[in-house]
Amino acid sequence: MDKQKEQNTQKPFNLVVLVSGGGTNLQAILDEMKADNLGGARVCLVISNNPDAYALKRAESLGIPTKCISPADYPTRTDFDNALLLALKEAQPELIVLAGYLVILPENVVHEFSGKIINIHPSLIPSFCGKGYYGLKVHEAALSRGVKVSGATVHFVDEGTDTGPILLQKAVYVSEDDTPQTLQRRIMEEAEWKLLPEAIRLLAQKGKDK
């Protein structure tokens, strides 16, 4: 079978990306997808808990379906958990990518999609991770500890916070004059925006080889 036909008969490797904010990591994924450099993976749905997330606009501008599922719109946390689980089941993703998703993922989702969820964290796990380490807090903690190297980690998601198996890591040097903001930006540019598409590419390739 020629390469084109082989690609056409292959099951698509569908991704659902969960976001909360600006979506620069989502953008990095979309750019690689447009460049046909994501191992055949494609984003089929973007879900945000925040209706104002700019990430939603990035997806919409490419015609990618979006949904807002926010805990604030449900009477109980269990109702939210079930709504998110239902939306994910309907999308039937091969992989769920947390790209700056600030909600603790419901346990029923983690169980249903065990081994099929990855997260990007802006430090070298196990440093500066776990409960309370999100956004600028991660970089504030790294600078106040005085580390000379930080970076980013892509890991599988389990029931804990940032405790799942590590898939990829990339180190980034800390400069003497770094602020939390400059360190955050450099870690995004040098590590996160490369590492997350790379992880997706790896897993998509692995999925196809099965």
Q: Of residues 122, 151, 164, 197, which one binds ligand GRF by CB under 6 A? A: 122
- Taking the complex as a whole, the smallest distance from the CB of residue 113 to ligand GRF amounts, in Å, to 18
Cβ proximity of 121 and 98 under 8 Å: no
Nearer to ligand GRF, 52 or 90 (CB): 52
Helix runs in the chain, H state only: 3-9, 24-34, 54-60, 77-91, 107-112, 136-145, 180-187, 193-209
Report the alpha-carbon distance of residue 30 to residue 19 in Å, rounded.
13
14-52 burial string, b = 16+ CB within 10 Å, else e? bbbbbbbbebbbbbbbbebbeeeebbbbebbbbbbbbee
Q: Around Cβ 160, how many Cβ atoms within 10 Å?
A: 11
- Taking the complex as a whole, the smallest distance from the CB of residue 76 to ligand GRF amounts, in Å, to 26
Q: Which of residues 77-106 bind ligand GRF (CB under 6 A)?
A: 99-100
- Taking the complex as a whole, the smallest distance from the CB of residue 198 to ligand GRF amounts, in Å, to 14
Residues forming the active site: 121
Q: How would you classify the pairing of strands 149-156 and 166-173?
A: antiparallel
The piece of 1-9, 65-73, 114-122, 143-151 that touches ligand GRF (CB under 6 A) is 114-122
Nearer to ligand GRF, 33 or 188 (CB): 188
Nearer to ligand GRF, 188 or 204 (CB): 188
Tell me, by CB under 6 A, how many residues bind ligand GRF. 13
Binding-site ranges for ligand GRF (CB under 6 A): 21-25, 55, 99-100, 120-122, 188, 192
